[in-house]
């Protein structure tokens, strides 16, 4: 029983990581029908930036977090102004599959290169926000950082779900993804929604990277893997439902932990990619692999 | 003393020398048109001669030259938000609803620029009076707009526009793609709207449809208003 509970705790922790990045992907896809393949790189910047500022430059921890989050938000804002604005508001560049994948894939490569140039190839971990030994109940152990990760994922998922479901602003954000022209004729500024949510989810991903990094560590190459598992979790939620993406991430994480614990960890990646293939075959439209909706 | 006095001769909607180009192609050459308060003017003419380009430019959706004034207030070019806030609301060709959102959300978002509510429920309460005009929508409120029939979707598009409480309504081909019987119903609704004090500029390829509601009609041909003043 204790083995099951410990596997469950580990699965929920990794599942929360999948889920939150899935939620970040889903909420932005809902607004502009583009996958943010740089979301993992924003998490990487958050983790490495905070670790560098706090441990090497000896910034106070809270200041290091604030400075890193502000920097990540600024990077996202600049990218929106320099690339997304021209691609989507001025009608420049390609659309369809090009916009779905390659704008943010390019950003991912740039951020990875920049992180390698600015930092090093070492493994970084930001200081733990909630430090101390693992919490233990009977034979059940869970890291404090893991508890924070799970709590942050659930709270973020609930907040995003409530925003989209109950607020006029959330409905307006959804309308932007449904019809840009339809949203503009009622006075909704689709570019402003796209920018705000891109910057907001970049900062949320960075915050999650900071909270998660004491558990897993980050290198400059961590971003694409995180983005990929986010894509899988978001795919379960049709790329449009952040609350469901968090739930899907938790399920994938637990399934992966159980598979690793009772069968073999060798099958973890198989499970992840099998899910991805399942999405491509069963719901190809959400990956932009069929004709765009009218 | 008003800050921006409206000239006595000014119409509710003043379109002055409006032009629209797509690259080298001139879709609207230089259109000047005035619509009086409470008047319904139809812009008729064959497809591809600039009617829709003109009306979408007036609504701020495409770049334009020239000037557009709404009750004396000059609208900035290319700003649909400013147009909506000034009371100028477009029902576009092919409706452009939000197919995955419910009928209720589609209508509610019509008031987005007007009410600025935080909660969707409050915003809906502000616009639920629209159902008095379109009672059939009452049973469709929780249905996704993309699953509605063409006629129902047009009704939602009109209801969404009415939720903005427009002073001037721009209608672009409201019956495009609809069966004749459904088109007649759409024009029944438009007649009800025209009987209020609302100012309407209607773009319609079919003059028979247009003259069901319009006080007068002008014809657009090759990007120009050709014959103003045709009596209905």
**Token pair in block for residue B77:** 């070019």
Query: What pLDDT score was predicted for residue B153?
Result: 93
Q: What CATH number is attached to the domain comprising A208?
A: 1.10.3470
Q: Number of structural domains, chain A? A: 1
Which residues from A are below 8 Å from B89, CB to CB? 185-186
| Cα separation, B214 vs B194, whole angstroms | 8
* Percent of chain B predicted with pLDDT > 70: 93
Which H or E run includes B44? Answer: strand B40-44
Q: Chain A to chain B, count of Cβ pairs less than 8 Å apart?
A: 87
pLDDT band at A225 (very low <50, low <70, confident <90, very high): confident
Q: Is A116 in the B-facing interface, judged by CB distances under 8 Å?
A: no
Question: pLDDT, tens digit, for every residue of A273-286?
Answer: 787 777 777 766 65
Q: Tell me the mean pLDDT in the region B63-70.
A: 93
Question: pLDDT, tens digit, for every residue of B139-185?
Answer: 999 999 999 998 899 999 999 999 999 999 999 998 887 888 888 88
Q: Is A184 in the B-facing interface, judged by CB distances under 8 Å?
A: yes
pLDDT band at B227 (very low <50, low <70, confident <90, very high): low
The verdict on a CB contact (< 8 Å) between B112 and A166 is no
Question: pLDDT, tens digit, for every residue of A56-91?
Answer: 999 999 999 999 999 999 999 999 999 888 888 776
Question: pLDDT, tens digit, for every residue of B21-45?
Answer: 988 888 898 899 999 998 999 999 8
Interface of A with B in 14-53 (CB under 8 A): none
The verdict on a CB contact (< 8 Å) between B120 and A186 is no
The answer to the question of residue A81 being in a domain is: yes
Q: Compute CA distances B231 → A197, B52, B228, whole Å.
A: 51, 22, 9
**Residue A122: domain span:** 2-127+136-287
Closest to A102 measured CA to CA, from A84, A85, A82: A84
E strands in chain A: 135-137, 140-142
The verdict on a CB contact (< 8 Å) between B90 and A185 is yes
B39 CA to chain A: closest CA distance, Å? 22
B60 CA to chain A: closest CA distance, Å? 9
Question: pLDDT, tens digit, for every residue of B67-120?
Answer: 999 999 999 988 999 999 999 999 999 899 999 999 999 999 999 988 878 999
Residues recorded for chain B: 232
Domains of chain B, start order: 13-226 (3.40.50.300)
pLDDT band at B4 (very low <50, low <70, confident <90, very high): very low
The answer to the question of residue A294 being in a domain is: no
Mean pLDDT for all residues in chain A = 87
The answer to the question of residue A293 being in a domain is: no
Question: pLDDT, tens digit, for every residue of A92-122?
Answer: 655 666 666 788 899 999 999 999 999 988 9
Write down the pTM of the prediction.
0.86
ipTM of the complex: 0.86
Question: Which 3 state secondary structure label does DSSP give B92?
Answer: coil
Q: Compute CA distances A121 → A209, B17, B159, whole Å.
A: 17, 62, 58
Which H or E run includes B189? Answer: helix B180-194
More reliable by pLDDT, A30 or A266: A30
Which H or E run includes B66? Answer: strand B65-70
**Is 90 exceeded by the pLDDT of residue A252?**
no
Residue of B nearest to A189 (CA): B81
pLDDT band at A166 (very low <50, low <70, confident <90, very high): very high
Q: Tell me the mean pLDDT in the region A1-17.
A: 87
The answer to the question of residue A156 being in a domain is: yes
The answer to the question of residue A281 being in a domain is: yes
Is the C-alpha dihedral spanning B108, B109, B113, B115 positive or negative? positive
Residue among B97, B113, B118 whose CB faces A187 most closely: B113
Residues recorded for chain A: 294
Query: What pLDDT score was predicted for residue A293?
Result: 43
| Cα separation, B154 vs B151, whole angstroms | 5
Query: What pLDDT score was predicted for residue A80?
Result: 93
Query: What pLDDT score was predicted for residue B231?
Result: 45
More reliable by pLDDT, B209 or A191: A191
Cβ–Cβ under 8 Å, residues A230 and A42 = no
The verdict on a CB contact (< 8 Å) between B109 and A186 is yes
Q: Compute CA distances A97 → A31, A35, A104, B226, whole Å.
A: 16, 10, 12, 43
Q: Tell me the mean pLDDT in the region A229-251.
A: 84
Among B86, B98, B150, B157, the strongest candidate for a mutation testing the A interface, having the largest count of A CBs within 10 A, is B98
Cβ–Cβ under 8 Å, residues A253 and A15 = yes
The verdict on a CB contact (< 8 Å) between A168 and B80 is no
The answer to the question of residue A108 being in a domain is: yes
Query: What pLDDT score was predicted for residue A192?
Result: 94
Q: Give, rounded to a whole angstrom, the gap between the first and last alpha carbons of chain A.
A: 52
* Percent of chain A predicted with pLDDT > 70: 92
Contacts 24+ apart (CB under 8 A), B133-142: B133/B159, B133/B162, B133/B189, B133/B192, B133/B193, B134/B158, B134/B159, B134/B189, B137/B103, B137/B107, B140/B103, B141/B102, B141/B103, B141/B104, B142/B102, B142/B103, B142/B104
């Amino acid at each position: 029983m204790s083995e099951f509970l410990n596997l469950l705790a580990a699965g929920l922790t990794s599942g929360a990581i999948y889920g939150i990045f899935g939620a970040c992907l889903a909420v932005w896809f809902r607004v502009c029908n583009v996958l943010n393949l740089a979301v993992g790189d924003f998490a990487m910047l958050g983790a490495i930036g905070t670790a560098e500022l706090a441990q090497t430059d000896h910034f106070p921890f809270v200041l290091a977090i604030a400075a890193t989050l502000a920097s990540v938000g600024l990077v996202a804002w600049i990218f929106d102004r320099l690339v997304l604005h021209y691609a989507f508001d001025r009608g420049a560049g390609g659309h369809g599959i090009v916009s779905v994948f390659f704008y943010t894939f390019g950003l991912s490569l740039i951020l990875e290169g920049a992180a390698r140039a600015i930092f090093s190839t070492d493994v970084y971990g930001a200081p733990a926000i909630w430090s101390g030994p693992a919490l233990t109940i009977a034979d059940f152990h869970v890291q404090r950082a893991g508890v924070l990760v799970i709590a942050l994922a659930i709270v973020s998922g609930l907040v995003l779900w409530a925003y989209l479901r109950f607020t006029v602003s959330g409905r307006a954000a959804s309308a932007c993804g449904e019809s840009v022209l339809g949203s503009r004729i009622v006075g909704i500024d689709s570019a402003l929604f796209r920018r705000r949510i891109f910057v907001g989810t970049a900062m949320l991903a960075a915050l999650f990277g900071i909270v998660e990094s004491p558990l897993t560590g980050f290198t400059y190459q961590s971003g694409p893997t995180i983005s990929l598992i986010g894509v899988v979790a978001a795919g379960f939620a049709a790329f449009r439902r952040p609350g469901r993406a968090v739930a899907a991430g938790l399920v994938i994480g637990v399934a992966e932990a159980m598979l690793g614990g009772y069968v073999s960890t060798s099958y973890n990646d198989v499970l992840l990619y099998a899910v991805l293939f399942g999405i491509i075959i069963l719901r190809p439209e959400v990956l932009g692999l069929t004709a765009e909706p009218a | 003393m008003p800050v921006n006095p409206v000239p006595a001769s000014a119409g509710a909607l003043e379109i002055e020398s409006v032009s629209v180009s797509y690259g080298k192609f001139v879709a609207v050459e230089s259109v000047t048109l005035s619509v009086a308060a409470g008047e319904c003017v139809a812009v008729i003419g064959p497809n591809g001669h600039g009617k829709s380009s003109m009306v979408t430019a007036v609504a701020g959706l495409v770049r334009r030259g020239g000037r557009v004034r709404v009750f004396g207030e000059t609208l900035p070019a290319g700003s649909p938000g400013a147009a909506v806030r000034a009371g100028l609301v477009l029902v576009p060709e092919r409706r452009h609803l939000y197919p995955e959102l419910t009928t209720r959300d589609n209508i509610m978002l019509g008031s987005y620029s007007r009410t600025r509510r935080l909660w969707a429920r409050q915003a809906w309460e502000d616009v639920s009076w629209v159902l008095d005009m379109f009672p059939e929508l009452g049973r469709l409120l929780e249905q996704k707009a993309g699953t509605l029939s063409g006629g129902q979707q047009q009704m939602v598009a009109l209801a969404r526009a009415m939720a903005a409480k427009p002073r001037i309504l721009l209608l672009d081909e409201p019956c495009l793609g609809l069966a004749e019987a459904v088109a007649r119903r759409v024009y029944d609704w438009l007649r009800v709207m025209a009987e209020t004090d609302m100012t309407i500029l209607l773009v319609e390829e079919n003059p028979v449809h247009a003259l069901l509601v319009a006080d007068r009609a002008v014809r657009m041909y090759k990007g120009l208003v050709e014959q103003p003043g045709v009596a209905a």
